[in-house]
Amino acid sequence: MSYIIVFIFGSIWGSFSNVCIHRIPDNLSVIYGRSHCPACKKQIKWYDNIPLLSFIILKAQCRDCSAKINTKYFMVELITALSFVFIFYLFGLTSTSLLFFILCIGFVIIFFIDLKHFIIPNEITYPLILIGFLKSFDPNLNIFLFPNFINSLIGGLFGYIIIWLIIFIYKKLRNKEGMGLGDAKLLSVIGFWFGWISIPFVIFFSSAVALISVIPDLIKNKKKLSSQIPFGPYLIIGCLIFLFLNEQIKLFLN
């Protein structure tokens, strides 16, 4: 029963994440204003806006105009719900779970916004930076996963500076932007949450995944090495890989 409640709770926050993903790039309020169909502009009734269920019942179509509903909405809600269940399975009803719930919501929003718009909104990164640093003062902090406030501060600064340096050097060499400061802020988030030790691994994992994903397009000449790609999703994937390998990495370093 607990897992069902957590799944429902996660799907609701997934629905809120969809609102953020849709509205933040257009500088619209995520609190005020009812959702509406992008095609016919009619407001979506509450019973057609139930996370996951409405998409299935309506067969991915608007009730009023039969326009197709983007599968992305369903995927965001499902990914968030399943992530909440996985976090709850690992850590139970603890402050650690609450922290990962917050980070999960932030990562989902950043992932899909950057994937489409090539931007990482400050409205998400700044609160995550603040929470990442403040949590390090919690006396009941899970010290195996989260760093103390000194390592957190160093990690946040290290994450930002290293991307800033990459941007600076690339611009000096090529006279154009290579990455955005949004990536620097996202890596700073990761540093504040998981300490300076996470930064080299996240950069390595994210770069490796990005390269592997781009290789097929490079071979088919669909992209060039200079082509713009949203790097935020890869930083998030790199962070997740680091977390999954966290125990092995720390054993290796010790």
How far apart are the C-alpha atoms of 53 and 50, rounded to whole Å?
A: 6
∠ CA(44), CA(49), CA(52), 5° rounding?
Answer: 145
Q: For residue 119, count CB atoms less than 10 angstroms from its CB and return exposed for 0-12, middle for 13-18, buried for 19 or more.
A: middle
**Model confidence at 166: pLDDT above 80:** yes
- 140 versus 125: the higher-pLDDT residue is 125
Strand partners, 68: 61
Q: What is the dihedral of CA 94, 95, 101, 107, to 10 degrees?
A: -140
Q: Which tens digit of pLDDT belongs to each residue from 29-69?
A: 888 777 777 777 778 787 778 889 988 888 888 887 877 88
pTM: 0.91
Q: Which of 125, 194, 126, 198 is nearest to 162 (CA)?
A: 198
pLDDT given for residue 46 in this prediction:
73
pLDDT given for residue 225 in this prediction:
58
Q: pLDDT category, 81, cuts 50, 70, 90? A: very high
Q: pLDDT category, 99, cuts 50, 70, 90? A: very high
Sequence letter at residue 212 = I
* Alpha-carbon distances of 109 from 117, 206, 210, rounded to whole Å: 12, 18, 19
**Model confidence at 108: pLDDT above 90:** yes
CA atoms within 13 A on the CB side of 181: 3
Give buried/exposed letters for 48-82 (b at 16+ CB in 10 A, else e).
beebbebbeeeeeebebeeeebeeebbebbbbbbe
* Mean pLDDT, rounded, of the chain: 89
Strand partners, 36: 43
The answer to whether the CB of 161 falls within 8 A of the CB of 187 is: no
pLDDT above 70 covers a percentage of the chain that reads 96
